[in-house]
Amino acid sequence: MEGGRVLTVLLLVLLLVGLAGSSPPPEPVVCAHGTSDCTVSNAYGSFPDRTVCHAANATFPRTEKELVAAVAVAVAAKRKVKVATKLSHSFPKLACPGGRDGTIISTERLNRVVSVDVAKGLMTVESGMVLRDLIEVAAEAGLALPHSPYWSGLTIGGLLATGAHGSSLKGKGGAVHEYVVGMRIVTPAPRSQGFAVVRQLCADHPDLDAAKVSLGVLGVVSQVTLALEPMFKRSVTFVTRNDSDMAEQAVVWGGLHEFGDMAWLPQQRNVIYRKDNRVAITSVGNDLNDYLALRSSSTADLISGRVMHELLLQQCLQHRAL
């Protein structure tokens, strides 16, 4: 009995070691020869239509000057361009850069802080900067980005392009682009201007609202200036209730809690209400995040889940091979 169990566990472990190599997701931009013959995908390895985008070549500018040069070369040759990021976390591809004739411009190396003005609460960063790093640098200056998506593995350029948001009905709401007060964007230009120019959009520029959520089709965002707030903490508590009055509760809950949100679990007929409010930086919390999706699971459950997953995958692959 005991021996049989040990053997089963051993087999499961061997199966897992064999099948589930744990490696980070592949880089979204992969080139077969140096920076030529490239593909761009998302962090999941393929877009929802199970394809990747092809492009003739890719550039990885390190400065705004190099970015302008990259756009100019593409424009002069009438090539289509797609901006890719280091993380590529959007599911949809939106557009491919014109098959094997296009160019990928990656913001992977445009990831620096340009300036921080603590007195005015302003921070300017390059568009490839990862949200997690941005939040950390702001914190070192005693500043906070008041709203952000719930996942920090995104770039500021990528999350703005798709209008990414947190949750709030207060003030200007929970979308990050509401806190953008300046942008530098590189766009195509006539030959007389060298095929590419940097457009600087300040807070009062009429085009800033359009450029902020550009879906990546207006040019390459080089830098972003954000209006930050003095550092604060958030106090979060989850409350589970049934979903019978969910619709009426949406506005009520949003009015009660600055960062309130609701996660609906229709199969359980439940709603997880997130009580989420601003508190002073000196407040002491209990360091507990007991959100359902983040709770720990037993190793045995994880192993059996993974084994089931792999078996199903093998069956699918065999089926496809036939």
Ligand X SMILES: *[C@@H]1O[C@H](CO)[C@@H](O)[C@H](O)[C@H]1NC(C)=O
Residues in contact with ligand FAD by the rule CB under 6 A: 82-85, 87-90, 94, 107, 127, 149-151, 154-155, 157-159, 161-162, 164-165, 216, 220-221
Site string for ligand X, 260-299 (x = CB under 6 A): ----------------------------------------
Least gap, CB of 46 to ligand X (angstroms): 24
Q: Which residue is nearest to ligand FAD (CB)?
A: 158
- Residue 123: burial class (beta carbons within 10 Å; 0-12, 13-18, 19+): buried
Q: What are the φ/ψ torsions at residue 249 (nearest 5 degrees)?
A: -70, -25
**HSE-up (13 A, CA, CB side) for residue 267:** 0
Least gap, CB of 33 to ligand X (angstroms): 11
Task: Kindly report the number of other CB atoms within 10 A of residue 38's CB atom.
Answer: 25
Nearer Cβ to ligand FAD, position 44 or 232? 44
Residue 244 interacts with ligand X (CB under 6 A): yes or no: yes
44 to 83, contacts with ligand X by CB under 6 A? 56-57, 59, 73, 77
Residue type for position 115: S
190: helix, strand or coil: coil
Least gap, CB of 126 to ligand FAD (angstroms): 9
Minimal CA–CA distance to 228: which of 142, 290, 298, 166? Answer: 142
145 binds, among ligand FAD, ligand X, none (CB under 5 to 8 A by kind): none
The DSSP 8-state label assigned to residue 320 in this structure reads H
Residue type for position 155: T
147 binds, among ligand FAD, ligand X, none (CB under 5 to 8 A by kind): none
73 binds, among ligand FAD, ligand X, none (CB under 5 to 8 A by kind): ligand X
Nearer Cβ to ligand X, position 52 or 73? 73
Nearer Cβ to ligand X, position 70 or 226? 70
C-alpha 56/C-alpha 45 separation (Å) is 19
Partners of 264 in the beta sheet? 271
8 A C-beta contact, residue 123 and residue 225:
yes
8 A C-beta contact, residue 104 and residue 40:
yes
Strand (E) or helix (H) holding 64: helix 64-76
Q: Which stretch binds ligand X (CB under 6 A): 90-98, 202-210, 241-249, 284-292?
A: 241-249
Q: Which residues bind ligand X (CB under 6 A)?
A: 35, 56-57, 59, 73, 77, 241-242, 244
